[in-house]
Amino acid sequence: MKIGHQEFDVKNKTYIMAILNVTPDSFSDGGKWNEMDTALGHVEKMIRDGASIIDVGGESTRPGYTKISDDEEIGRVLPVIEAVKQRFDIPVSVDTYKPGVATAAIQAGADLINDIWGLKYDEEMADVIARHQAACCLMHNKDEAVYGDFFRDMLSEVQDCVNIARRAGIADDKIILDPGVGFGKTYEMNLEAIRRLEEFAGLGFPVLLGTSRKSVIGLALDLPAQERLEGTLATTVLAVRAGCAFVRVHDVKENYRAIRMTEAILGK
């Protein structure tokens, strides 16, 4: 799979998408990287520690988040995207579900759109991605955790996202799928989604797992966000075993080492 001008061996390797939140209110690192020099220093460290993609987010999507305008989100992410692309040779993703933000981000140099609504919030997003031939990550999400058969319904709903992408002209080799741990699911459903990653991968696309510091880990271990590293590492090991192509994490060095060790054991 090609993201930007870099090739990713999505069938045999697991890569790190490193989180860079330029928001005042993200659940575990809100406000830490709002100053440009601090943000770029953090990016440099994450690349040194093993990041393969930088995922820039300008609006928190934690439970109960406050939606902001396109202009405010663009004002947060564009200077960071431009600066990262100027200083570092690494693909940049933007974490947004808004077509206007996606358009501006791509024009600023973003290579991938990471859409938490899997193109379902606004179908114009699919047209934006197709028109610019960008890569995309389509996440499973819904307003309420209401299902007939959870896992079967989730697969069907993710397939709907793929169908939207294809109708718009997004090529299959530009699509990554994310089971959406922490979004539209109960604690038990989140655990099942992680447990059944191999089946999720059966949809035929590279898979991204995003569990870093999330509430499913906090609930399992009864720990606050800043103490969920070990729990995150356990999910990363499972992601490698299940053949996931990407993990989206805050703590790059530790997750990179866990990936490398797991791949060594598995002979990858």
* Residue-wise pLDDT tens digits, 180-198: 999 999 999 999 999 999 9
pLDDT in tens, 101-155: 999 999 999 999 999 999 999 989 999 999 999 999 999 999 999 999 999 999 9
Catalytic residue among 248, 257, 260, 268: 248
Q: Inform me whether the pLDDT recorded for 201 exceeds 70.
A: yes
- The reported pTM is 0.94
pLDDT in tens, 210-232: 999 999 999 999 999 999 999 99
Question: In terms of Cα–Cα distance, which of 148, 98, 101 is closest to 121?
Answer: 98
- Active site annotation includes 76: no
- Active site annotation includes 248: yes
Catalytic residue among 174, 185, 214, 228: 214
